[in-house]
Structure 1
Amino acid sequence: MKILIVDDEPISLASLGDMISMLRFEPVMCKDAEEALKRCSETYYPVIITDVCMPGIDGLEFLERIKKSKGTSSSDVIIITGHGEMETAVKALRLGAYDFLKKPLDARELAAVVERSAEHQALLFENRDLSQCCDRRILEATLDLQRDLEDAREQLRKITGVGNIVVSSPCMRQILNDARLYHKNTDVPVLIEGETGTGKEIVARLIHHGEDDFKAPFVDINCSAISENLFESELFGYEAGAFTGSDRKGSKGKLEAAGKGSVFLDEIGELPLHIQPKLLRVLEDRTFYRVGGIKKMPLEARIICATNCNLEEMVEEGTFRRDLYHRLKIGYFTILPLRQRKEDIGPLTQLFLADESKAKKKRFKTVSKAALDMLRAYPWKGNVRELKNVIERAVLVYDDDELRTEHLEFLAVKPGANMGWRPSCNLFDLSDLTLPDEPFDLDEFLNDLKRQIVIKAVGRFDNNKTQAAGFLNWDRNKIYRLMDG
């Protein structure tokens, strides 16, 4: 360990240096405080021994500067004072001196003070090291915890489906914006209509969770899966002894169990007719009774309903109450089938491909244009759920960098089969059609036009005539004959 010695008297400075060397420390000697301050700005000295009476900057001013400097404030400064300078020694201690020695110096006393100071510096160094190590470990643990928390949130998003919302179509963007709006209004009931597999539950969960709220419970009920005679107790709960076979302590219903979260009534069109007026009363009063109970229970949860039925038609048929239908329709969503919002097929395909490739440790990263065209041409009667299953099957069977049409051959439609899809607009703009002045053979012209269309379709599907036939809703043999002709 280096010890800095400051004294303007050469003999005293040399003597101190010899004593420090005998204690097996390395002395660094300075003839005045200015030189010592310069050295301290370049190197850290754990222990500094300085005389008080020096020309220029005296020992007390030197001590004060050392203690005020960030780089040297932790150094132990030992002050050397003459006889009768006790007041100076006290002032030095108040300024932060570690200890003081009186002249003439006693070698044993100097050794004891220096050894004690060295031990103090060793403890300070160990403490700094432990503190830095502790800070480093706390930082690492905090970063690990943040990563784990984000991973947990990501997993929760995937489990709830909220993390799988990727859209491009204007209609779905509007639905997502409205869902975030309804998230802030818990007392507004919401009705979601759409075909099976369009993502009604995912929208319901987005209404419940918002951007990143996973604290409140999401209680889902499939109305088609509950026995009609058990529906009331399942929804509202029951008191002890309310019916034969009931729990002796009673039981909470789904409305009560949801607390301040959400109750999702899936397949609301299957809600028993005798329960419908009771649900209407709950929505209007925001209170309910348990079965067999006399105490009003407050409804704190949000009610979200979904159906693949046409409730308006059911109202006209008398199988669904008109007043309940209009009450549920305060917050209303209609999710179009995937075949009517083809802009979403590309982003959804990429999302499902990335998720499945990661889960199954495959290489798939991109989708070829031909494969994407093929997916867009498919009718998707099972909607988003069917698309997800198709991508999962392709990734399970194949392993490649790019998803291509050959990986989707199981989607190929049988020759002559009707895919159930027609263009929503005219294929050709005939507004500027001009007939020639001379007579022409219409059949020959149409055959040539067909040939050009078939060639383009076959090229789109990488020369796969079976897929081109499905795309054109034609028999594959007709394609061969037309191209050969």
Structure 2
Amino acid sequence: MTPLPPATIRPTGRVLACARDPRAQEHLLNAIRRNGYEAQAVATLQDLQNALVNDEYAAAVIDEPESTQAIEALEAAVRLADRATQFIIVPAIGQRILPPRSVSCEIIDPPFTPERIGRSLFAAVGRAQLIAENIQLKQRLEGRMFDGLIGVSDATRRLRSEIQNAAEHDRPVLIVGEPGCGKSEVARAVHLTRSGPGAPLLTIRCGLLTAGAVERELYGDAEFEGRLISATNGTLVFEDVDLLSIPLQQELASIVFNNAFKHGDSYAPLGARIVATTSADIQKLASEGNFDRRLCDVLTRNRVDVLPLRQRMEDINVLTEFFLQQCAVREGQPIRQVSQEALDRLHSHTWPGNVRELENVISRCCSI
């Protein structure tokens, strides 16, 4: 996989200068404008932060900052506002400024010249453009992932239809599929379609917790509000429900049938939608006495099956594109392309690890 050709970086973009001394302000403004950038100036780091958080600037040039910690705090506020601004630090002669641990910045040793400022701004604006593109890409991905699913195959279209049907009621839903096929994403899609992104979506990983830990997760204690309460008006997902202990399966069945659970000395109504996922045949387990029959009956009334990736190979291309975009957002790099030869190899694989395996393969390729 090779990076896409980078976009041509032109010396354009708004730059903000920060200097306490009016003469230093004027000196910075002249140097910035001489290199073709639109420039404004502020006197304090607080004024700089207010301006950067509320408006778009490609770069900020800071004259003689107070400390590394002040720059780190500034950068944190700017990143929290989803701004791509890059920082250029101009310390005083003899001032020692260590590179901030998390700041995308360059430190120019004094004395500086308009030419040095120009070179630094050229690189900073280029980085800012790339980061801004990735912020926009991240936002598009979040919008694209609203239903939690990526795919164009008939199987994925049928799955979307089943999710829509499941979202039309509040009854428990069982999601069945091989490990790595995307059961958690389907559970999220059911939740989003029914309750929307603002409602709580909580997960209990039955295979990772002891029975006592699951019970605490459900009911809480003096220091912790149980998830049966926290998930009210949302969804509570039991991941790998077949790994829940039989007594807790029986307890969950009673909660579902009674639509209430014990809360202190009384009972509270169940206000959360129950979704369970499994890779097992719980009907077979129930017939063998290894799964609670009542819980099996109530879960299997509304079942959604997620096919393995090998049965929906038409989704490989769009999934690969999606994972490449995710890598670009995560690493702040251009989106990579996949050659036809690489796609052919992806299509020839049987994917025993399903979508999770494909995601891991793409992530490893992006790290090379």
TM-score by length of 1: 0.45
CA distance in 1, matches of 2:179, 2:251: 27
Give the aligned residue type for 1:225.
L
Q: In the alignment, what sits opposite 2:68?
A: none
Q: In the alignment, what sits opposite 2:268?
A: 297
Q: In the alignment, what sits opposite 1:165?
A: 149
Residue 373 of structure 1 deviates from its aligned partner by 1.5
Q: Is the 8 A contact 2:168 2:194 kept in 1?
A: no
Candidates 374, 382, 389, aligned match of 2:353: 382
CA distance in 2, matches of 1:370, 1:212: 42
CA distance in 2, matches of 1:212, 1:232: 25
CA distance in 2, matches of 1:152, 1:366: 19
Give the aligned residue type for 1:234.
E
Are residue 175 (structure 1) and residue 159 (structure 2) matched?
yes
CA distance in 2, matches of 1:336, 1:396: 29
Are residue 257 (structure 1) and residue 230 (structure 2) matched?
yes
Q: In the alignment, what sits opposite 1:349?
A: 320
Are residue 219 (structure 1) and residue 202 (structure 2) matched?
yes
Give the aligned residue type for 2:283.
E
Q: Is the 8 A contact 2:138 2:329 kept in 1?
A: no
CA distance in 2, matches of 1:178, 1:190: 11
Residue 391 of structure 1 deviates from its aligned partner by 0.8
Q: In the alignment, what sits opposite 2:280?
A: 309
CA distance in 1, matches of 2:175, 2:301: 11
Residue 251 of structure 1 deviates from its aligned partner by 4.6
Q: Is the 8 A contact 1:160 1:205 kept in 2?
A: no
Change (3 A) 1:235 1:160: farther
RCO (CA 8 Å, sep 6+): is it higher in 1 or 2?
2
CA distance in 2, matches of 1:288, 1:318: 25
CA distance in 2, matches of 1:280, 1:377: 43
Aligned-residue identity in percent: 32
TM-score by length of 2: 0.59
SS at match of 2:246: coil
The correspondence of residues 27-66 of structure 1 with structure 2, limited to 5 A, is: none
Q: In the alignment, what sits opposite 2:290?
A: 319
Q: Is the 8 A contact 2:167 2:190 kept in 1?
A: yes
Aligned length: 246
Q: Which of 1 and 2 has greater Rg?
A: 1
Q: In the alignment, what sits opposite 1:275?
A: 248
Task: Say what the alpha-carbon RMSD is for the aligned residues.
Answer: 3.6
CA distance in 2, matches of 1:335, 1:202: 10
Q: In the alignment, what sits opposite 2:239?
A: 266
Residue 230 of structure 1 deviates from its aligned partner by 3.7
Q: Is the 8 A contact 1:224 1:267 kept in 2?
A: yes
Q: Is the 8 A contact 1:219 1:254 kept in 2?
A: yes
Change (3 A) 1:230 1:156: farther
Q: In the alignment, what sits opposite 2:7?
A: none
CA distance in 1, matches of 2:171, 2:149: 23
CA distance in 2, matches of 1:319, 1:156: 44
Change (3 A) 1:350 1:153: closer
Q: In the alignment, what sits opposite 2:331?
A: 360
Give the aligned residue type for 2:198.
K
Gaps of 5+ in 2: 1-53, 58-80, 83-134
Q: In the alignment, what sits opposite 2:20?
A: none
CA distance in 2, matches of 1:173, 1:335: 11
Residue 236 of structure 1 deviates from its aligned partner by 2.8
Q: In the alignment, what sits opposite 1:199?
A: 182
Change (3 A) 1:171 1:183: same
Give the aligned residue type for 1:197.
G
Q: In the alignment, what sits opposite 1:337?
A: 308
Residue 156 of structure 1 deviates from its aligned partner by 10
Alpha-carbon displacement from aligned partner over 1:173-231 (angstroms, at most 9, x marks no partner) = 1112222333342x210101111111111111111112892211111100112212343
